[in-house]
């Protein structure tokens, strides 16, 4: 009984010691009154006006990422605004050129589609590069970032748990707003 009274008195003693020493004492919030900090997702806009026949796949790829992570949200760019991400259809192999975390250009290459690769998987994969994920080749179909090494029979457009966690980390707090500029080219 005596030790529990002493333990309950410790916070008051600590406050008194800090006050005498010229320090500042601040009461810690109780679990019932603790404030929870809610951080809004970083919004990245994309322009699919040059995505030609792949516009629907881009919309589906963005929706997959929006359903998979909380720290970043992909939205179509509003008229008159500049997009963080440009998507351009071309005849080459799919590739992404990043300029910084959350910014760059995706070239939605028809070559992979002509070879039988799934368009929504391509879209999700390339958006993954914009979100800071590297290729993970070779890899299984369960890894979105395994890209073409999973084969044409792989239609999985969803990031796995590790890929989701990495994107969440990439866009957590101040890191997302002050990401260093980096020019990278991912050819898948």
Q: Which residues are catalytic?
A: 126
Beta bridge partners of 105: 86, 97
Residues 6+ apart with CB under 8 A from 110: 89, 90, 91, 92
Instruction: Order the strands of the 103-109 sheet from edge to edge.
Output: 72-76, 42-50, 85-90, 103-109, 95-100, 181-187
Helices (H) and strands (E) in the chain, counts: 6, 6
β-bridge pairing 85-90 and 103-109: parallel
Residues 6+ apart with CB under 8 A from 125: 94, 144, 145, 147, 157, 188
Q: Is 110 exposed, middle or buried (0-12, 13-18, 19+ CB in 10 A)?
A: middle
Question: What's the rounded Cα separation, in Å, for the pair 173 and 160?
Answer: 22
Question: What's the rounded Cα separation, in Å, for the pair 84 and 77?
Answer: 8
């Amino acid at each position: 009984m005596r030790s529990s009274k002493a333990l309950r008195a410790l916070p008051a003693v600590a406050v008194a010691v800090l006050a005498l020493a010229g320090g500042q004492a601040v009461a810690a919030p109780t679990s019932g009154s603790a404030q929870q900090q809610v951080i809004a997702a970083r919004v990245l806009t994309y322009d699919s006006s040059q995505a030609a026949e792949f516009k629907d796949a881009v919309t589906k790829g963005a929706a997959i990422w929006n359903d998979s992570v909380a720290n970043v949200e992909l939205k179509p760019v509003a008229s008159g605004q500049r997009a963080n991400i440009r998507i351009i259809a071309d005849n080459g192999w799919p590739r992404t050129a990043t300029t910084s975390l959350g910014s760059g250009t995706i070239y939605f290459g028809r070559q992979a589609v002509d070879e039988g690769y799934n368009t929504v998987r391509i879209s999700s994969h390339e958006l993954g590069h914009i979100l800071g994920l590297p290729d993970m080749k070779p890899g299984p179909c369960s890894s979105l970032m395994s890209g073409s090494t999973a084969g044409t029979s792989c239609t999985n457009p969803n990031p796995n748990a590790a890929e989701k966690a990495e994107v969440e980390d990439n866009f957590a707090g101040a890191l997302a707003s002050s990401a260093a500029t980096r020019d990278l080219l991912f050819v898948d």
